[in-house]
Every structure is written in structure tokens, then in C-alpha cells.
Amino acid sequence: MHRQIAGKLTGRVTKWLVLLAWLVLFAVLGSLSSKLIDVQDNEASSWLPGSAESTKVLDEISETVDPNDIPTLVVYSREGGLTESDLAAIEEQGQELAQVEGVTDDGVLTPAAAAQIPDLPFQLLSEDGEVAISSFVLNFGDEGWNAIPDAADEIRDIADIDGVEVHLAGFGGQAADSAEAFEGIDTTLIMITLLVVIVILLFTYRSPILWLLPIFSVVVAYSVSGGVVYLLAKNAGLTVNGQSQAILGILVIGAGTDYALLLVARYREELRRHDDRHEAMAFALHRAAPALFASAATVAVGMLCLSFAELNSTAGLGPVNAIGIAVTCLVMLTLLPALLVIFGRWMFWPKRPAFGSREPNTTGFWARIGDRMATGPRKVWVVTAVLLAVASLGLLALDADGLSTEDTYTKEFDSIKGQKVLVEHGLQDNSNTAQIVADTDQLDAVQEAIAGVDGLGAPTPAQEIGNGRSYFEATISEDISSTAAFDIVEATRDAVHDVDGADALVGGGSAFYLDTKVASIRDNKVIIPIVLVVVFLILVGLLRALVAPLLLMGTVILSFGAALGLSSLLFEYVFGFAGADPGFPLFAFVFLVALGIDYNIFLMTRVREETANFGTRKGSLIALGSTGGVITSAGVVLAATFLVLGSLPLVFLAELGVAVALGVLLDTMIVRSVLVTALNLDLGGKIWWPSNLDRNGHTVDPGPSTSAKEPASV
């Protein structure tokens, strides 16, 4: 951005126009952002590609089996055995449950009714008489996800029996628990994140009022980006789920605060050099905008690489967060500068940057660290790299084969308690079935083929679905998302695929989770190399060199390995998590590489700027001293915001938050400040090959990191 353009954005008149424009967008799109949860699609079917076998089954049976059907169980248990009055109450409640809005016309299957059905492939009363089940199907049409919580509350009220433990289980119970897990995602999570950021900004700025402007700006960015995402989800088919909305809020607030810290730091420096605050902001934007824009572009492009994913949920996450970053960057380069100029120097109270006062950044902690590294940079980067490589060995402890329903959450929800009761008393969750489609003329052969599959119940009566195809189900005895259930699905698929001429397919809940795992593994192999290539090309264009981008990519990959290795050890030995979601490595990689490169961009653009005057070695020390404090603060902010994801009771988000937070701290405090700077000091002008940036005879001894010229911060 040229200084003339920067000056026009924050001129005496245009600053008010910029503020007015954003207030209008805030009012219009902010109201839509509050509706974002209404367009979430958290159904498993919306996550999978059309090529998945379970998706093909769903397409074939859609005319026969409503895809909005939600099999639901009410589990009753009494230690010592259910009494006759308990069983009578359960039968009466069955009639009441049948009247609940959303319960299909098939009604409620109670233990007494089930006893009258010959050859029923499952039991609704345990042999010890301690547990009974009422089974029914909920269907709310396309609005099913939003209607589940209210229906669950009504069902629990009806099912209350003195002395009897009652749980809502099956798909309906799991859906209700999932809704509870994401409850407050658009309010509580954001408020906690903002509170954390405010506390950090108070310590960073040491001003009781300056934090208001960055916080207002990130709130505007979050609201506007949420409104844009809502419009695309409602009108353009963009997939948004609770997971992507949670990450959107965290990313916008964290990255937005980072950008604000960097811009405010540069503006404060320029206020010491320019009496007119409008002129100071013009210089600040001229210096800071290219690095901020490059940083945002790297993150946005990295997010967009997720669009190559087979999983619709992952593919949708890319555009959602790219939109958030793009809007955030625009807000921080327009609205925040306008606000800073409008309010003037007094916002920095009690330490107002007076014109002509001394800039303290170049003699601080990081400047002293740089001076010490300058005496033996090779030893520093070798030791640092070895330590990071050793930390990466923790990856051997990472188990990303998936999580059972019980292990998916950080607390025990009602449906999980119900599932445990069923398992303990030898009952099956009849809501978890394998759905099998085959040619009608080969139906007997297909049913005979699955008879020997361990863990698979007896087939239900077959239904014609047209085009010479038939459909039936068989209950899977294991938890829907467990490895054992996946083994049963795979064994069933092997069995039916071997029946010549049947063209048989196997779908259902466990098949969905299995296909999700397979697609996640594929996405890991495809997207990670794409992200590396794209980010490398961005760095080449930004730094106009080849060696420096290669070094930076190597350091970020090393940082990613160390962060994931240390995180894996924490997951297993500290938090006691049973494993990780198959998509976790990809999500962690994309966020850590994109965000980790950010800080290297902030540092290396400053190094490049100073190299022209002082050479690479001296320029690296000046860059470290000038940017160290603010980038470290930015890293702490981003780490803290991602840790807030742990407030949601989902293991996947908790693990992602911990891994990204740890990786960001490693990047800002070790990789960027120590490893990258030591490499710069050791290699000198060679890092700019093949450009001639540092071929002008700079042989200055690194010396102190302060410079005679005024430092031009990031």
C-alpha cells in the first residue's frame, strides 16, 4: 500500500466515512451473523462426499427411508429389577411419547409391544429385568437439528419415573447431546474468548482504555464475516457446522487481535516521529500493511486449500475461515486505523507516545537475546533444531484412528450413560444398524453371506426400493463410532461384495463414520502437500528469494512436528484422551503452518527491509529487537484464544486448541526468535539467493542490535 493511499484512508474526512461504512455493514450483516447457527448442517450425511459407499446407500433408499429419520431410545433402569408398576408406567408413557411433536406415525415400540412381535431381531427388556427400552423415530424434516433439544427436554419430562434411572439414547440422544455440546457457541464461547483477549491486552498495553478499539474492531470483523458466511450457507450451498463456526470465531478474534497489536505498535512508533497523527498513521499503514496483507493472504489461501478435501465438512471449513480472515484483515487495515486517528493520542494513556520521545523497542529483551546469539549462531540453531526434532518423536504416541462415542466428549453425556447401561445388561442399541442395498434377485444370497459376520444381528424383512433393488437392515452390536463397529462394517462389505451380480452396498451410521475416517486419511495425504507448495510460493513472491522460503518452510514443519509430538504426549499422559479424530492431524497442520508462517512473515519482511541498509546479519538483529515484543504478545493472544476451544466439551476441539496454542508459542518464542534468527546470522546474505539484495559489501559486525537510523517496525 502506498503512503498516499494509506493517508487517504485515514484523512480528516475519510476516517469518518470509513467508520460510517463499517457501522452500516455491522448493523446489516451483524444481524445475519446471529442466525448463523440456524443454517448449520451437523448431520453426518452432509460431511461425506457422494462417492462414499454409505452416501450411495442413502441416495438409493431416500425414497423408502426418510433421511431425516432419527432413531431414538429411552432407556429405563432400576438396580434390583424394574417393578410391575415401572413396566406399566413405561407402557403408559409410550402412548404419551407417541404424541410428542416429531415422533413418526409408527409410534413407540415398548417392551410389552415388542414381546408380541415374533422373530424381532432385538430385545427391549434385559434378561435380568433391570433395563427396559422404548424405541421410536423422530423426524422434524430439514429442521431436525434445531428441534432436537426441545423434543429431548419434553421426552425426558414424560419419561420420569420415581426411583428409575432414565436416559435418552440412540441417534436422538446423541443428537441432543451434540446440540448441548455446541450450545452457546455463538455467545458463551465468543464472550470467553473476548474476555481472555481483553485481559492480555490490558497487560500488553498497560492502558485501561486502548484495548477498546482493537476489541470493537474484532467484534465488527466477527459479525460481518459471520453475516457473509450466513448468506453463502443459505443461498450458495456452503457447508457450515458447529465445528467450523467455533473455529471461525476463535480465528477471527485471535488473528484480528494479532493484526491490531502489530498495527498499533507501528502507529505508536510513528507518533513519536510525527506531530500530526494523520501523517503518523499514513506512515504506519504504509509500513505495516504489506506484511499484514501477506500474512492474511497466506492464512486465507492455506484455508482455501481445504476445499480440495473429500469431506464436505472439511471442504466447507476452508471457505468459512478464509472469509473470516479476509474480512478481519480488511477491518484491521481500515476501521482500526480510522478509530485510532479519530480518538488520538489520549487513547494510549497513561503512557502517551509524545512527539520526539524515545522509542524503547530496540533495547529490550529480544534485542539482548539477539546480541547473545550473534556470538555463536551456528551452535544455537543446531541445538534448537535437534531439540525440536526430539520433541517431534512424540508423534509416535499419536493415535488418530478415531474416537468412540464415549471418547468423543470430555464429559459423560446422557446418551453415553444410556449406551453403557445397554452394554452392561446385554442389550443392543437397535438404532445403530448396517443398511444393505442389493439387487432383488440376489437378496437371498446377500443375506446368507452376512449370516457369518460376527457382531451383526439378524436381517430385518426386505423392502423393495425400485429398479430391481431391495433394502434391509441388520443391527450392529458395537458403539456406532468404535473401531469394533468399523470392523463389522468392513466384514459386512467384504461379504456382500463377494456375491456376484448383487451390486450390494453397505451404509448406516457406523458406515458413515468409517467412510469419514477413510476420507480424512485421503485428505491428509492430498491437502498437506498442496498447502506446503502454496505457502512456499507465497513466500518466494514476498521475499523474492528461494533459500529463505525453504529455510522458513523447514522451520515451520519442524515446529509443527514438535508441537504435535508434545501435544500427543499431553493427550495421552496428562489429559487421558483415548486418541484423536482422523482429521485432527490435517486441521492442526493447516492452522499451525498458516499461522506459524505469519510470524515468520512479520520478522522476515523487517529483516529484508533492514538488509538493504545494514546487511542481513545486522538487519536480523534489528528486526528481532524491534518486532520481538509485539510478535510475542501476538503469539500469546492467539495461543490463549485457541485454548478457549477447550471450553467446549469436545475432545477434537480441545486437542486442536492445545496443539495450535502450543505450536504458536513455539513459533513465536523459539522458532522465529531463536532458530530463524540464528540461521540468518549464520548464513548471512546467502538466504536471499538468487537475488542480489545483500551483495553490496555489507561486512558489518553484528554488534548491538540498535541502529543509528530510526527503526522501521513491521
Tell me how many degrees the CA angle 353-665-370 measures, rounded to the nearest 5: 60
pLDDT > 70? residue 97: yes
Average pLDDT, the chain: 85
Tell me, what CATH number does 154's domain have? 3.30.70
Q: Which of 456, 482, 514 is the last residue of a domain?
A: 514
Tell me, what CATH number does 324's domain have? 1.20.1640.10
pLDDT digits (tens, 9 = 90+) for 629-686: 888 888 888 888 888 888 778 898 899 989 999 999 998 889 888 999 999 999 988 9
Q: Is 388 contained in some domain?
A: no
- Cβ-based burial of 522 (10 A; exposed 0-12, middle 13-18, buried ≥19): middle
pLDDT digits (tens, 9 = 90+) for 326-362: 999 999 999 999 999 998 888 888 877 776 666 655 5
Phi, psi of 127 (to 5 degrees): -65, -30
The Cα–Cα gap between 417 and 118 comes to: 30
**Alpha helices (runs of H) in 276-404, residue ranges in sequence order:** 277-304, 312-343, 365-373, 377-392
Q: Is 176 contained in some domain?
A: yes
Q: How many CB atoms lie under 10 A from the CB of residue 101?
A: 10
Rounded to an integer, the average pLDDT of 218-222 is 93
Q: Is 189 found in the same domain as 163?
A: no
C-alpha cell at 555: 522451520
pLDDT > 50? residue 381: yes
Q: Is 194 found in the same domain as 168?
A: no
Q: Is 316 found in the same domain as 199?
A: yes
Left, alpha or beta for 356 (phi > 0: left; psi -120 to 50: alpha)? Answer: left
The Cα–Cα gap between 185 and 296 comes to: 24
Q: Is 192 found in the same domain as 171?
A: no
Helices and strands, number each (H, E), in the chain: 24, 8
Q: Is 169 found in the same domain as 74?
A: yes
* pLDDT score, position 490: 95
Q: Which of 181, 212, 247 is the last residue of a domain?
A: 181
**CB within 8 A of 643, min separation 6: which ones?**
657, 658, 661
Q: Is 364 contained in some domain?
A: no
pLDDT digits (tens, 9 = 90+) for 563-612: 999 999 999 899 889 888 888 898 888 888 877 787 888 888 888 888 88
* pLDDT score, position 39: 72
Q: Is 261 found in the same domain as 327?
A: yes
pLDDT digits (tens, 9 = 90+) for 132-146: 999 998 888 766 566
Q: Is 662 contained in some domain?
A: no
pLDDT digits (tens, 9 = 90+) for 296-324: 888 898 889 888 888 877 887 888 889 99
pLDDT > 70? residue 545: yes
The Cα–Cα gap between 319 and 308 comes to: 11
Q: Is 265 found in the same domain as 305?
A: yes
Q: Is 334 found in the same domain as 423?
A: no
What is the span of the domain harbouring residue 129? 69-181
* pLDDT score, position 154: 92
Query: 706: pLDDT confidence band, cut at 50, 70 and 90?
Result: very low
pTM for the full model? 0.81
* pLDDT score, position 413: 87
Buried (b) or exposed (e) across 189-227, using 16+ Cβ within 10 A? bbeebbebbeebbeebbebeebbebbbbbbbbbbbbbbb
How many domains does the structure of the chain reveal?
A: 3
Query: 43: pLDDT confidence band, cut at 50, 70 and 90?
Result: low
Q: Which of 460, 495, 514 is the last residue of a domain?
A: 514
- Helices 547-573 and 377-392: crossing angle in degrees, nearest 10, is 40
Q: Is 624 contained in some domain?
A: no
Q: Which of 64-68, 454-458, 521-525, 541-545 has the lowest mean pLDDT?
A: 64-68
SS3 per residue for 31-54: HHHCCHHHHCCCCHHHCCCCCCHH
Query: 700: pLDDT confidence band, cut at 50, 70 and 90?
Result: very low
The Cα–Cα gap between 148 and 658 comes to: 31
SS3 per residue for 416-448: HHHHHHHHHCCCCCCCCEEEEEEEHHHHHHHHH
Structural contact between residues 530 and 303, judged by C-beta atoms closer than 8 angstroms: no
Q: Is 341 found in the same domain as 222?
A: yes
Instruction: State percent of the chain over pLDDT 90.
Output: 28
Q: Is 207 found in the same domain as 161?
A: no
Q: Is 230 found in the same domain as 305?
A: yes
* pLDDT score, position 465: 87
Amino acid at 42: N
Rounded to an integer, the average pLDDT of 421-449 is 88
**Alpha helices (runs of H) in 574-710, residue ranges in sequence order:** 584-614, 616-643, 651-666, 677-683
At 506, which helix (H) or strand (E)?
Answer: strand 505-508
Tell me, what CATH number does 454's domain have? 3.30.70.1710
Q: Is 224 found in the same domain as 101?
A: no
**SS3 at position 88:** helix
pLDDT digits (tens, 9 = 90+) for 474-509: 988 888 888 888 999 999 999 999 999 999 999 988
Q: Is 605 contained in some domain?
A: no
Q: Is 643 contained in some domain?
A: no
- Cβ-based burial of 426 (10 A; exposed 0-12, middle 13-18, buried ≥19): exposed
* pLDDT score, position 45: 53
